[in-house]
Amino acid sequence: MGIYIQILALVIISIILLWFGYTLFLGPLSPFYRGFFLWSKWEKREQQKGEPGDPQVCPVCSIKLYKGELVKSVAFPSISGGIDRLMYIKGCFSCLNDNVQRRCPVCNSNLSTDDFLVSRMFERMGRKNHVHVLGCNRCKRINLPSSSV
């Protein structure tokens, strides 16, 4: 009788070991699975450079933005009551999170992730807003609203 129980125990142990092996090599927790996932993600995201000032190009790092990607910015209500509004541009997802060189297009100084560009936004009816970069917080210190960004 004892031999049957031993065989049964061996069968159960081998099933558990097989299941372990399966999750270890092919399951989502497996290092192989994770490596493949990261590799495919890295290959997909290839960064293209554009000219600063072009539409769909981040003015801080001049990386072309993907569809749906936005530049982080703060717009203030118009002081003069006109169509232009003051806007601070912080940057895009790439240059705020990745180690991408951030530059001011006016004075060419290197910007940290805390720095921002000062720009004028012209709201145009029925057309895309026009953004004119005046400089960064280093070269355009004068007459800025004191509100925090």
Selected binder of Zn ion within 86, 87, 89, 92 (CB under 5 A): 92
Of 83 and 138, nearer to Zn ion (C-beta) is: 138
Q: How many residues bind Zn ion (CB under 5 A)?
A: 12
Q: Can residue 118 be called a binding residue for Zn ion (CB under 5 A)?
A: no
Q: How many CB atoms lie within 10 A of CB 82?
A: 9
What is the C-alpha radius of gyration for the chain, rounded to an integer number of angstroms? 27
CA 9 to chain centre: 53
Of the candidates 106, 118, 121, 133, which one interacts with Zn ion according to CB under 5 A? 106
86 binds Zn ion (CB under 5 A): no
In the complex, least distance from residue 148 CB atom to Zn ion, rounded to whole angstroms: 20
- Specify the amino acid at residue 8: L
* Cross-sheet strand order for the sheet of 84-91: 72-75, 84-91, 117-122, 130-136
Q: Residues in the site for Zn ion, rule: CB under 5 A?
A: 58, 60-61, 91-92, 95, 104, 106-107, 135-136, 139
